[in-house]
Structures are given as C-alpha cells and as structure tokens.
Structure 1
C-alpha cells in the first residue's frame, strides 16, 4: 500500500504552547501560508500537564487583546508563600529573602491544557489546520534535509502485524518542520543526536513533576494563593526538588511535587515521595476532606541556558521544551516556550520571503534568540539549577538569592553540572532501602487508582511503545545492580519485576498504564529504554491539567 501524502508550507509537531504560538504567529505574519499542526493526544490539551503559574509576557505580545478574546486566565496570584518543610514542622521564608525569580506578582494560576485549547481556537480562526490524534512517528529525511514526518500506523497488533481496519500513517511534508513535542520529545531526541545539536553543551537535566487536581474542602480555598516548598520529604534521602500547592479556579487546588532526576538512591520512588508530601500538616490541612479529581505526571527539562541545544537543523527547528527552554529559576516554561515558537515563526517567515532571492537560512534563529528577552531571561538564570545540584537546597538557595537579588543574574561566573541524571544513581548495595507507608485513601493513594483518574487509555493489542534495546539488561544489569529502579521511578506502575523469587525473574511492561511522562527514557541507568509514540489518540486524557 502507498502512503497518502499532504503538503504544507510549515508543519508543526505538537499542539502545546510553543507549537500553537508558532502557528498563530506564522498566520499573523503571512495569512497565505499553509500551516498544519499535528497533535498525538486525542484532543488539544489532552497530554498537557503543568503546575501552572503563568506569566503573560509572551501572550501579551502574541495576542495583546487576550482578555477581550476570552483567554482562560481568571485567577490572578493573590499571595506567595514559601516554606522549608521538615518532618515535624516548617519554616516560612520572608519574601524579601526569596530569589526574585520566584515572586509571582502579576501572574495567573491556570490550567495550561485549557489555555492550549483556547490557543488552538485562535489558531484555527486564523486558518491553521490542527489534527489531534495523529502521532508523528518518523522523520522524513531527504539528502540530509528534514522534509516532514510520517504519522504512526493505526491498527497494528502487538507483533506489528496489521489487524482489521489497519491504516498506514500519512506522509506530512513541509518546507519547514517545527518540533514542539515537549520535554524529551522522541523525534527531537533523534534530531539532537543526528545533527549534533548538543555538541559542547552541558547535559540536559530533568525533573519529574507529579500533579493532582483537588476540589477543595469547604472553607479551605483561598483563590490566587501560591505555595512552594523545599526540604521534606526529598531532603531526607539527599534528593532535591520541591512541592507546590496553588489555589486555582472554581474552588480547585493544584498540588504537586517535582523530584530532580539526578537523585542517587535507586530505592527512591518519586510517586511515594509525593504521597508523603501530601501528608505533611502544612499541605494536608488544605486537602483533607476534599476530593481528588485528576492525576498526572510529566518530566520537565530543567538544564536551562547551559543545556540548550542548537535549535536549527536543515529543514526545521526545535522549539519550546523540545529545546529545553523552561526557566527553572521561575519554575515556569509556558511563556518561554511561547516566545521560542514566536521567534521560530519570525525566522521561518523571513526565510520563506527570501526563498525567491535564494536566501533560505534557519541559522538566523541564533541571532533572533540572542536579541530577545528570552535569551536574557535564561542567561540570568543559568546558575540556578547547577547551584542547587552543587550546594544543596540551603546552600544553592543562598547562592541564588545573592545572584538574583543582588546581581540581577549577572555574576561573572557560570556554574556547570556535567553529570547526566542517569549516571548519578548508586548501586543498590551501597544505598539505604526506603520503606514507604501504605496509602490512607484520603490524602495518599496507590499508583493504579491514580492512573485511573488520569483517564489513561491505550489500545492494548498494539506494539509496545516502550522499546528495550537489550531485553536481557533489566534483569542481568538493572535488577542485579540497582534493584531495577524502573519499578519505582515510573509514576504509573508500568514496569514490574515478576517471578523475582524464582530462578528466572523477568521485567513485565504494563504499557497500557503509561501516562507519557518519559521518565524511563531519562532515568534508566543503562539507557536501555526508548519511549516512542503509541497509536495516535492513546495515552492520558487530562481535562484541565
């Protein structure tokens, strides 16, 4: 069978804030352009997960009349509280001693998924074609140039053989392809390796963000209140990260924990640490008596400025979290992703306009980026993550306070963290085992009930989208040396060692549980797992994350 093919001026892979902003900007610059956006989720927003406290700077530039257009930004930040948690108490920081990047005056507590749904409406109103449920599975290369993507086949069984209703994926060809898949995009990962886009860069670093949405108990909701925490529970295991609790729209609480994926102890479980976090009295007081209504997880790229790959390659650009533009010093990546998409659109529009005169050059993105506030913002925050990694929560926090508040992010030194996250893990024999309490079913829960409220759905008779390079490694190496940490770092119970008490244990992959967080692709100590897209439309279906 021959694949169907469609041609576009510009193809955007991913309907997140970066991809949609680039599409809108392209149509603003040239309404005649044929722009297409493909999205692997069942609908726009289905796979979007973020805290999220949102800074409007990029939105103000892209759609200055966003308030009149009905953007879903309803709850302005009304207060900032930051705590250092201990198992038996907490210390509240005076905001005067908090790095100014973490102040949230003028920001909004939002559902990023709902913002993306609204951005998609604006894009379609300008004539952008958006196709949800189409997963970009392969890159089209011709003579070293990216010419588009091929969407995944539908209707293959677990052996990769066609079933009834089998449909070949389509060739989506374009003059330019913008990759906006989010953190650790599987095609972006291939492009970075193929074109050496990360040459001479620091390794990218990641965190795993786990989030729940709660309907607050009566009398506990304070619209606009932003709470951030450090310390407990992660500090007890020499791990870093932080918690958040945002009082959002319609009486809802957004609660989560980010675990830095450079943690050392293979017995640590980010999911279980999140359950412990919620039981701390400072957090539990807002949740107890409420109702948990949604759960999800997503890796975030937190390497920042030092880890940014080159964004351009022949035929296209990496944008947003595919390029790692999140500003971890602000714990925000939506406005930076949007700006990167807008810069990409500017360069593509210029290149298309100059094509007739022989000027076809996407390397201009470098000069556009360096002249933008995005570059300045990321540069000023370049030391934030490395400082925390080198000096710990307290020492790194003090360094960041001095650099951000006294020197405006321009100390004449640049800290580096050259260790990949997966390399940080120690042998199980050298680590302290961790015993986690059973969930109480009121504030803390188990994995399977959590996956249930993520609305995750996969066609179970399809090829497994979690590929093992060597099927022997999970038992021969990971189990033997690291007690197979995939059983614990996965927040959805995808990986399970069965028959461990027998002479022939094996790794069972329950891929139908996968919430597409990509942690396995990042943290596996043997780098033996590759995450690829399942059938389009499969995965979580987040209503308002």
Structure 2
C-alpha cells in the first residue's frame, strides 16, 4: 500500500464495478437487509458507460432478482422472434437448421437488449433501495489488512502527472473498507488479476481463454428491419486462421447490433481481428442488410471463454470474484449476463449470512459452492468441451463433436470427460516467420471503416496529462523481441489503434483505449499490463 494519507469510509460490503454482477449483488444485499451499508464504485463516467455486450439476455437471473421487472419498466422490450444460424463462404451462405441443435441453444424467451441500458435501470433499482453508487470512481489499488486479507480499495485518485507524481490538482482519493469486498470488474480486471495472482486462485485450473468482441450499432432501412430477429454466423472470413463468428441482432427503432468475435488463441501474429470484422460486413448477405444504413456506435471488449474448467477459486480472505472476473460465459450460447447476475445474488447471500453470524474478512465458501454446484455450474458444465474441441480440432469438429457432447450432457454424461485448454492465448501466438502476412482490403468508408474513425464513435476520452494506464514491464521488449519475432502483433490485435511502431519506436496512444484488455491478454511476451486510468475516462457507450 502507498504511503499517502487517505480518509477511510466503512461499509458492510464494497462492490467494484456497476455491471450486472455488481448491481445484482448490491440489490440482493439490500433486499436481505435494508440496513446493510453497501457501496458500488464504477470507473465509467456513468453506469453503463463501459458496458458492452451482444446482447441476447436470458432473463432467468433478472426473474430471480426482481420478479416484477416488467412492471418496473426494465428495458427488455424486444423478445427474440427467430433464430438463424449460417455457415458463410466468401460469396454465399448455408443455413444450418435449428432442429439438430441442443435445446439450450434455443433463444425462445430471451430478449435483445442493451446491457448498458439494463445496468442503468438496475442502478436506479439499487439506489431506490438505498445503495450508494459512485460513477467516475476508478479503484486503483487494493487495501490489505494486518493478516493479508483484502479489507478495501482506494478509489477516486485524480490529478497525477504523466510520470506518476502528484500534480497541482492532485486528489489522493479515499479508502473504502468493507467486511467483504466484491470484485465485479468484468473481463481481466486489474484488481481481480492481482487477487488471483496473490492468493494463487488459478492453481489446479485450466488457463483462462478469451475472445475479442467488436460491435457496431447500425440504423438500417426500415424495409430490411426485422425486430426480434437473431442471426449467428461462422466460417468466412476467418476460415482456418482463427476461431470465432458473428452476431446480427435486430432490436427496436430500426437498429441492428452487428458484432464479430475472434478467439484470441489464434497462431498467426499477422491476423488483424478488427480488419476481419470490417471484411465480414462486405459479405453479400451482410452488405445487403446494411446498404443505405449508417453506423452510429462502435466498441470492443474481451470475452472470457474458458468456461467451467478455467474458473479460478472465487474467494480469498475478505474478497470474492463475481461474474466475468471469474469467467461465466456459456460460449456456444454467447451468453454470460444471466450467470453474472446469479453470481452477484449468490455472493450477496453468502456475505449476508456471514455478517449475520458476526463474521468478516474471511472466505465466503458458501458463495463458491453455490456457483460450482448451482445453476451457474450446471449451465457451464454442459458446454465445457465445445471451446477446447474448437481450439484443437477446428470449427467442423466443434459443430459435430461439440454438438454431440452438448446433447449427451443434457442427459447427464459426456463421452469426452472434461477436455483441457492447454496453452494461454499469449503462448498460442507463433513466430511471424511461420506464417504469411494477410492482405486486408482497405475500408471503403461506407460499410467498413478504419480503426481511428470507428473509435470516434465510442466517445472515448482520456485526460492526456495522466500516467499511461497501459504499462510495459520492460520497455525494450516491443522493439527488441516482439517486432523481430512476432512482427509486433500489438499493432493489429488492438481494436482501437493504441499501439504503433513509428521509426523503430513503440508508441502507445493510450487516449484511444476502449478498455477491452486484449493487449493484457494476447501480448506474446506478457509485457503489457492494463491498469485503471483515472475515473470517468475511457469510452462513453450510449446503448451498447
């Protein structure tokens, strides 16, 4: 902990991150005991500003948390009407029929939503119950107690100079202490990463796996709009270069979510995920849909894809990891928000029980047990082999063997047991000399766009005088190691154009960062660490 003197505030539970997991935990704590003192700290300028998700929402978590959500005006306004699956080739597509797919793949009863707007609404429900929510408050460090337990966080530190020293308008922030601290930072959160390393929570688990998800909102020709339609594609343009696929969701107001996911275990460092996304929109099926429309927003976010076998231990003294801090995405369903909500409720119930019994700052093992053996664990266990089969044997094997495995798992068994993932995504990157560079067509400015133009549609802003929040362990590695060996892939894997090599210098344009965390995950030398910039900085997503 730093030597700076800070004021401290005491709470029962301190929650980092106002996403679906953190807000569900806050609401449930207040439902269980209205006198419970609960605070939620959010680094975005407002709740929802940093939320980016597909999203087709399975409402099972919300049904449990707020059963009368419809009456209370939750923004779940577009029920899914039809499900479409396509395998794409460069010039055409083949429809994959729905009937061979396991029942869990059916989107009947789900809703196309903006998770940013869902979180904004959840924050209103939490505040009505008396939860204190502070947006624009980045949590920059953990506070540890005398026995090594997590006892709080530092939030609201502002005004550092670029070299990290206090500037003329420096504010040291505050320490917020809790009997328990919940980390619901989303994918690859900096405090969660510290906790996992400090307490060795990944010991005995498979490495976590990730994808990069990029998304645009389009306003399209009303004649082409089909509210409630859900389409997923696989195949072109990725081919054998990488795993992944797309989603196209028709919400209301003639808007469409167009998204593209690339699994980050790809081997070829020349691969350019953002340009694969831009190329995808030129497929005849997609180009025809978007023709005459306009893109109105852009963003990107890493996705946890390791699933059941990659979930670290979720508790350590005084702290619990929630939602995507653990990794609860059901990969074939492309859904994790329902599990995030369920995890928040489970953590709240465990903390409530512990505090009622006079406990504090210990391990909430009841929470861990509920996640692994309850609805979340059951949801993830059924699909645990789909991602490793895809990684090791390719798309067709994943469709056939993975589909077969999901069917048998609905009956309670698997012929494959539990397949391991093997390498981390960083370690999967091979030397550039083993692969050919990929020639990407230049964006046309109508369907496809360069990165910096698109980043302007994320409303991203960072105070430029602060220290860069993208930190190099060894500043010489990008030019001396990554450039000759891997053609410095940071120039390509970043969906916001943060990293450049200019005149043999590695340039970090941190002002562009949309907080996706891909660099922290995919850098082959594991030399980049993402930490929080000062509060309120980053993207300002409208209704992602």
TM-score surpassing 0.5? yes
Pairing partner for 1:56 from 51, 55, 59: 59
Alignment match, 2:487: 483
Per-residue deviation, 1:440: 0.8
1:291 equivalent in alignment to 2:294: yes
1:421 equivalent in alignment to 2:420: no
Alignment match, 1:10: 13
CA contact 2:460–2:540 (8 Å) conserved in 1? yes
The 5 A counterparts of 1:240-259 are: 240-259=243-262
CA contact 1:352–1:360 (8 Å) conserved in 2? no
Alignment match, 1:151: 155
Q: Say which is worse superposed, 520-529 or 213-222, in terms of deviation.
A: 213-222
1:414 alignment partner, SS class: coil
| Stretches of structure 1 lacking an aligned partner (at least 5 in a row) | 500-504
Per-residue deviation, 1:524: 0.1
Per-residue deviation, 1:375: 1.3
Identify if the C-alpha distance between structure 1 residues 152 and 506 changes in structure 2 by more than 3 Å, giving closer, same or farther.
farther
Per-residue deviation, 1:9: 0.6
1:162 equivalent in alignment to 2:161: no
The 5 A counterparts of 1:348-427 are: 348-355=351-358, 361-408=363-410, 410-412=413-415, 413-427=417-431
Q: How many residues align?
A: 538
1:59 alignment partner, SS class: helix
CA contact 2:181–2:319 (8 Å) conserved in 1? yes
1:464 equivalent in alignment to 2:463: no
Alignment match, 2:436: 432
Q: Distance in 2 between matches of 1:359 and 1:518?
A: 29
Spell out, residue by residue over 1:231-254, the C-alpha distance to the aligned partner (whole angstroms, 9 max, x if none).
01111x421101010001221100
Q: Distance in 2 between matches of 1:449 and 1:348?
A: 45
The 5 A counterparts of 1:486-525 are: 486-499=490-503, 505-525=504-524
Pairing partner for 1:326 from 326, 329, 332: 329
Pairing partner for 1:207 from 180, 205, 211: 211
1:138 alignment partner, SS class: strand
Alignment match, 1:275: 278
Q: Distance in 1 between matches of 2:170 and 2:497?
A: 29
CA contact 1:133–1:537 (8 Å) conserved in 2? yes
Pairing partner for 2:114 from 101, 111, 127: 111
Q: Distance in 1 between matches of 2:86 and 2:537?
A: 38
CA contact 2:318–2:362 (8 Å) conserved in 1? no
The 5 A counterparts of 1:260-271 are: 260-271=263-274
Identify if the C-alpha distance between structure 1 residues 354 and 55 changes in structure 2 by more than 3 Å, giving closer, same or farther.
same
CA contact 2:90–2:283 (8 Å) conserved in 1? yes
Per-residue deviation, 1:161: 2.8
2:222 alignment partner, SS class: coil
Moved over 4 A (4+): 358-361
Spell out, residue by residue over 1:309-358, the C-alpha distance to the aligned partner (whole angstroms, 9 max, x if none).
111100010000001111112100100000011100010000001117x9
Q: Distance in 2 between matches of 1:313 and 1:8?
A: 19
Identify if the C-alpha distance between structure 1 residues 478 and 359 changes in structure 2 by more than 3 Å, giving closer, same or farther.
closer
Q: Distance in 2 between matches of 1:218 and 1:367?
A: 49
Q: Distance in 2 between matches of 1:117 and 1:123?
A: 10
1:190 equivalent in alignment to 2:194: yes
Q: Distance in 2 between matches of 1:291 and 1:218?
A: 12
Per-residue deviation, 1:361: 4.7
Q: Distance in 1 between matches of 2:409 and 2:463?
A: 53
Q: Distance in 2 between matches of 1:30 and 1:218?
A: 48
2:358 alignment partner, SS class: helix
1:218 equivalent in alignment to 2:222: yes
Q: Say which is worse superposed, 190-199 or 397-406, in terms of deviation.
A: 397-406
CA contact 1:100–1:404 (8 Å) conserved in 2? no
Alignment match, 1:502: none
Q: Distance in 1 between matches of 2:362 and 2:448?
A: 55
Per-residue deviation, 1:151: 1.7
1:181 equivalent in alignment to 2:185: yes
Q: Distance in 2 between matches of 1:361 and 1:31?
A: 23
Per-residue deviation, 1:370: 3.7
CA contact 2:318–2:363 (8 Å) conserved in 1? no
Q: Distance in 1 between matches of 2:206 and 2:363?
A: 26
Per-residue deviation, 1:416: 1.0
Spell out, residue by residue over 1:181-226, the C-alpha distance to the aligned partner (whole angstroms, 9 max, x if none).
0000111011001001110000000000000001112311100000
TM-score by length of 2: 0.97
Pairing partner for 1:127 from 127, 130, 148: 130
| Stretches of structure 2 lacking an aligned partner (at least 5 in a row) | none
Q: Distance in 1 between matches of 2:408 and 2:426?
A: 34
Identify if the C-alpha distance between structure 1 residues 538 and 359 changes in structure 2 by more than 3 Å, giving closer, same or farther.
closer
Q: Distance in 2 between matches of 1:386 and 1:359?
A: 36
Q: Distance in 1 between matches of 2:280 and 2:424?
A: 26
Q: Distance in 2 between matches of 1:42 and 1:27?
A: 24
Pairing partner for 1:69 from 72, 78, 82: 72
